[in-house]
Amino acid sequence: MNIIQEPQLSDFSACPYLKDEEVRFEYFFASELDEHELNELLKSGWRKFGLYYFRPACLDCRKCIPLRIVTAEYRPSKSQRRVIKKASAIDVKFTPLHYRDEIYEIYSEHSIHRFGKYTTPDDFIATFYARSCPSIQSEYYYQDELAAVGFIDRSGESLSSVYFVYKTSFQDFRLGTYSVIKEIEYALALGLKYYYLGYYVPGNRSMEYKNRFNPNEKFEWNVNAWIPG
């Protein structure tokens, strides 16, 4: 691991997940992590974008709960089986990280449609294509048209979902849910034990879907251990 900036605490700011709450992060910048170093960070509740590694360090709140799926134990629910059936015409490929303009265009459209945020290609590349650790991307095609892309880190025993974007014209396929299913399957095919799904925040509706993938494990900050959910 090449530490670019040592761990430190951010200032408090408005929480993006819970109304009227404030958030603070512990963070550092690093590159050249190997799969074992990444594994230790994921096990301790860290997440990352590009070279930026972070985890919440709020004073009294522990509602950002890391969540992971045990790949060999996962069974799709009835509603998830319906998603699988509906998206059966979608082809999925897993490839090394490889930037293309069409991927940025999907990301830009997704950011504007979902969050009202405008981006630049440089920011996009720095966030998802800075090679700070072993990473891959997933690509979702419908009749040879690229419909969605996922960014995934790979540790010694897991895949970790970083981000997922899709064209709004394909939103009826529920590709967000479908991507989790396919990436869990891929992790299992690689012989990996876990699939990390980021932070689950009770009370935040946009993150409720994460807790519907079962069985799962949640990280308990107070005891620094993963507990079956």
- Which residue spans of the chain are classified as CATH 3.40.630.30? 68-228
Beta bridge partners of 140: 92, 148
Cα–Cα dist 167/152, whole Å: 18
Q: Are strands 216-220 and 225-228 parallel, antiparallel or unpaired?
A: antiparallel
| CB burial readout 3-15, b (16+ within 10 A) else e | eeeeeeeeeeeeb
Instruction: Decide if 30 contacts 4 (C-beta within 8 A).
Output: yes
Classify burial at 103, counting beta carbons within 10 Å of its beta carbon; exposed 0-12, middle 13-18, buried 19 or more: buried
What predicted TM-score, i.e. pTM, was given to this entire model? 0.95
For 68-228, give the CATH class: alpha beta
Tokens of 140: 């979702």
The string of DSSP letters for 32-83 reads: ---HHHHHHHHHTT-EEETTEEEEE--SS----EEEEEETTT----HHHHHH
* Helical pair 175-189 and 78-86, crossing angle rounded to 10 deg: 100
Collapsed DSSP state (helix, strand, coil) of residue 178: helix
pLDDT for 195: 98
Q: Phi and psi of 25, rounded to 5°?
A: -120, 145
pLDDT for 157: 97
pLDDT for 190: 98
- Cα 49 to Cα 26, 71, 167: the distances in Å are 14, 23, 21
pLDDT tens for the 229 residues of the chain, in order: 999 999 999 999 999 888 888 999 999 999 999 999 999 999 999 999 999 999 999 988 899 999 999 999 999 999 999 999 999 999 999 999 999 999 999 999 999 988 888 889 999 999 999 989 999 999 999 999 999 999 999 999 999 999 999 999 999 999 999 999 999 999 999 999 999 999 999 989 889 999 999 999 999 999 999 999 7
Cα–Cα dist 192/45, whole Å: 18
